[in-house]
Structure 1
Amino acid sequence: MASELTIVFLETYWPKPSISLRLSRGVALETTVTIQCWAWHHNMRFLLYKDGSPTTQQEVEPAGLVAEFPIHFMSQRDAGSYRCRCRSKQSSYWSEFSDPVKLELVDPSYPKPSISMCPSEGFAPGGAVTIQCRCRSGGGRVLLSKAGDPASQRVMDPTGDVAEFRIHNLSRTDAGNYSCQCGAQRDPNVCSEPSDPVELVVAESLQEQRGSRGH
């Protein structure tokens, strides 16, 4: 009796790449910003996409692990969310899309907001803090960001000129520098310059807080 040979072709699934902006999230008109995508393997091909655009933005085959996509002369149409994906140069199977990174246009006509914390100090694990952002323009949206943590961004549409972001059950992961930006509801990709940062220190004791401020 003839044996039956079954051939199974295994598809290669590549880990999704990482993505970041070389400059800060807010970019001024006619400046240059570079979007970086990197993979876990060499000899990869990268594609950069902009959300809402049906066509590929750019394609790069870097010599190393990191692909750079420069955007020259930043305009309002360049603002938005970007993702990238990658595959081996010898493969036809693409990775999943990276997490999105948002490229926002800074409009100098929006006044720079101010930021404060209530209470102003004395934060212990399990406590709470309210971060207040004041926008002199009023009537728009307010974005709160933590430096180095794009996923922590929070958005609010306050009725007045002050947005209050409350953080409950504080932990060490909440510590860091926070800033806020003001924008218009009609265009979510245009905003003010970031406020001056405010530092949230979460410590086990008051003595530890004083020691951290002294360094």
Structure 2
Amino acid sequence: MTLRLRVAHTGEDLSFAPARLVVAGYTARDQGAVAAHIAELAEIGVPPPASVPAFFDLDPALLTTEDVVRVSGANTSGEVEPVLLRAGGRWFLAVGSDHTDRDLERDDVAASKAACPKPIGATVARLADEPGSFDLDHVSAESTVDGVTYQASSLAELLRPDEVLARMRVALPDNPLDTGEDFALFGGTTPLLGGVFVPGARWELALRLTDGTDLTHTYDTKIDTTGEDPR
């Protein structure tokens, strides 16, 4: 599976064929808020994570830049996330959505994430060569669902990317930082304005960088009635 991406400002065409896809969860900088969120999810039947942050090693074939994705049912939802891409030793930032099956999430969080494609925008921004230099605190993150604002915050709400990567190195055996593989890491999401997941058909995502670059993606969900893999 190879994604065709475009690098902002340079116009470089980037062929990205990741060997790994990792989705991080519970990455809020406010650990008290994380604990409260886990408690809220437990009230609706979602099991607590084995670790905080949590890391889910998924099939990279779930990644897509398509504007229509197939899902298994009506109760699915997405969210805006920073996505770190390592391609050929270089680092890039994309906007993405950890689209998730909320019904399945009550039984198996990892399976609920694996059940849905992971949309990302086709335009990416080049980052510094060293993860410790990534400063995304002033990047704003926004999303809408069916035209209604769903999230509006900044990435300062999340752990710094280098900290998420460091914790991934500890949490995942044979992690891609050490194997040298190209990979994508979804870095977690900012608070929902309404505080609850909202299913919907159309999702609009944006990361707005301080240099004026906007990384955006819009996608629609289509319920799959064939019973096939939604990818």
TM-score norm. by structure 2 comes to 0.28
In terms of fraction of residues, the more helix-rich structure is: 2
Larger radius of gyration: 1
The structure showing larger relative contact order (alpha-carbon pairs under 8 Å, at least 6 residues apart) is 2
TM-score norm. by structure 1 comes to 0.29
